[in-house]
Amino acid sequence: MQRKLPQSNLYLREEELRRGIELLYFAYRDFTRDPDEILADSGFGRAHHRVLYFVKRNPGTTVSGLLSLLRITKQSLSRVLGQLVDDGYIEQKPGTEDRRQRLLYLTDKGEKFEADLFATQRQRVAQAYKMAGPEAVSGFWEVLLNIVDDSEREIVMRQLEK
Amino acid sequence: MQRKLPQSNLYLREEELRRGIELLYFAYRDFTRDPDEILADSGFGRAHHRVLYFVKRNPGTTVSGLLSLLRITKQSLSRVLGQLVDDGYIEQKPGTEDRRQRLLYLTDKGEKFEADLFATQRQRVAQAYKMAGPEAVSGFWEVLLNIVDDSEREIVMRQLEK
DNA sequence: TGTATTATGTCAACAACACTGACGTATCAG
DNA sequence: CTGATACGTCAGTGTTGTTGACATAATACA
């Protein structure tokens, strides 16, 4: 018998998939809202935030390091990075081993600004973690990691373990 | 004693928070990649996808319904919606009760296109669900829902239950 | 009936951020 | 010495968001 089971399963599955898709949209939209507001006051945008964030997390990283992490073009990165350097948020030091490289570090000003931006997301995510509980948080991480491209998962995991 | 515990907890907490923040960035980035490619071939962008998606999910919704769901300006929506109507993906019918309203529906062409776009994200999310397992999926939903703004949670939950 | 409000659309300007393509310089590696 | 690499730059383009102002039609209400 069971004529209707496959149909029913498919329907449930679709609902579950749409739920994930929608939550991802809404959560990401709100997740970026607080820092976006702070950034706008300083004449920066979301891209600046990402650069500050990943330089903070990977002090001494190079331009190509950022490029392969962010997966944007060097022209896009260059514009944003240049502004951050010009405005004194990021410092470039020539590589010791390979002098073509520019090692990137946050200045004190950059550290403070990043901390302000981080505080807003910290608050939001900490609250969500608290409401959902530790088991839910594990599941959250696991599903997200599996949504990442197969081809990117290695590099993402390396980043997470820093 | 436990002199070091609070410090240690804070450190762990920070790491956990950064993990969530980073995963959200990487997952969202890759999550939007497949549909973005298809859209580019048709001369559309991510905003068109969102409109198609939510009209599919809420057939007969109005412009203001979309506006309060997407939280963008009417000028932004109008441009994108206008293109989709002009190109025959979305159909507008005057409201029966309130004739100022334009009720929005996907045309057959729109249904097919949305299905193509959805298929890519369906595949990615289904795979992630499968790898992570049902408990992880619940946690994924729960954390994401709590990341959504308090002020938006009602409207998001109403959407999810459709 | 008349008036205020609502739903929607439109014109214009602007900014952020991504892209492509091409070219240039300094440095490294063999 | 030569080719590849790391990085920068100039120029153009497109999507998507914003603000502000104005217009039209339909509704709601006094």
pLDDT at A8 over 90: no
Cα–chain center distance at B24: 14
Examine the pLDDT at A6 and tell me if it is beyond 50. Answer: no
- The string of pLDDT tens digits covering residues A24-83 is 999 999 999 999 999 999 999 999 999 999 999 999 999 999 999 999 999 999 999 999
Closest Cα partner for A106 from A53, A65, A62? A53
Of A147, A151, A162, which to mutate for an interface test with B (greatest number of B Cβ within 10 Å)? Answer: A147
pLDDT at A131 over 50: yes
| pLDDT digits 0-9 by tens, A75-97 | 999 999 999 999 999 999 999 99
- What is the per-residue pLDDT for B128? 97
Architecture of domain B18-160: Orthogonal Bundle (1.10)
Q: Which residue is nearest to nucleotide D24 (CA to C1')?
A: B100
Domain boundaries, chain A: 20-160
- The residue that minimises its CA distance to C1' of D20 is B75
And the tokens for A111?
């550290």
DSSP, residue by residue, B116-148? HHHHHHHHHHHHHHHHH-HHHHHHHHHHHHHHS
CB contact under 8 A, A26 and B131: no
Overall average pLDDT of the B81-85 stretch: 97
Cβ of A81 near strand D (under 7 Å)? The reply is yes
Q: What's domain A20-160's architecture? A: Orthogonal Bundle (1.10)
Q: Which value does ipTM take for this structure?
A: 0.92
Q: B57, B66 in Cβ contact below 8 A?
A: no
CA of A90 to C1' of D23 (A): 49
Q: What's the rounded Cα separation, in Å, for the pair A96 and B113?
A: 53
